[in-house]
Chain A
Amino acid sequence: DQQVKQNSPSLSVQEGRISILNCDYTNSMFDYFLWYKKYPAEGPTFLISISSIKDKNEDGRFTVFLNKSAKHLSLHIVPSQPGDSAVYFCAASAGGGSQGNLIFGKGTKLSVKP
């Protein structure tokens, strides 16, 4: 049973446009969410996080939105750049992140075309 779902395996966007990556979760105990970016043959790189007390967190070109009632979060990248092409993973945890267990989605492969 997948508790964190990324329903789009891939997404293609033109350079300079907005990329929107989506993530749904089922466990209402999740209260801390993270986005990671991963290049082939490398480890995941932390991008941005949000706790359930917020509905938005912004860091440069990256913004994460959280809709608790819908159990949905999204990552917006504006403007998209070719170097953003990678697999993006959504991850969630309970207990304010103090629990070690991060639950990951299967990832969305983003391709940004010049």
Chain B
Amino acid sequence: NAGVMQNPRHLVRRRGQEARLRCSPMKGHSHVYWYRQLPEEGLKFMVYLQKENIIDESGMPKERFSAEFPKEGPSILRIQQVVRGDSAAYFCASSLLEGLENIQYFGAGTRLSVL
């Protein structure tokens, strides 16, 4: 049973370009979460999605960032017109959300470097 798959593992972009990060949840999981980790920091929540719906995007920057989780295919985190401050590790997690205990399982992350 494959875990949460993220690709690419490393992504290099120049300022002003677009970055697309992909996440395939664990088999049977319909809840996807995106987090960002800056150096020496903990993970910061960005967005929570279910199939075709954004449930909570309270952690998403208001501009340039968007996320989707289509009916078919992986979840996508899209960053338009990247700036140096976007350089970070982006982690995706998925969960079953059964009962009251929601264990989120994480992928290996995408390390974005903006030149």
Contact = CB atoms under 8 A, between A and B. Distances in A.
Given A89-B43, A101-B48, A46 B104 contact: yes
Given A34-B103, A51-B100, A96-B100, A105 B42 contact: yes
B107 A43 contact: yes
Contacts of B48: 100-101
Contacts of B40: 106
B44 interface: yes
Contact of B102 (A41, A93, A105, A107): A93
Interface in B21-70: 31, 33, 35, 40-45, 48, 55-56, 58-59
Size class of the contact patch on chain B: 20 to 34
26 contacts: A32-B101, A41-B111, A43-B6, A43-B91, A43-B106, A43-B107, A43-B108, A44-B43, A44-B91, A44-B106, A49-B101, A51-B100, A89-B43, A93-B102, A96-B101, A96-B102, A97-B102, A97-B103, A100-B48, A100-B55, A100-B102, A102-B33, A102-B93, A103-B45, A104-B44, A107-B42
Given A34-B104, A43-B109, 6 more contacts: A32-B100, A36-B106, A42-B109, A43-B106, A100-B56, A106-B42
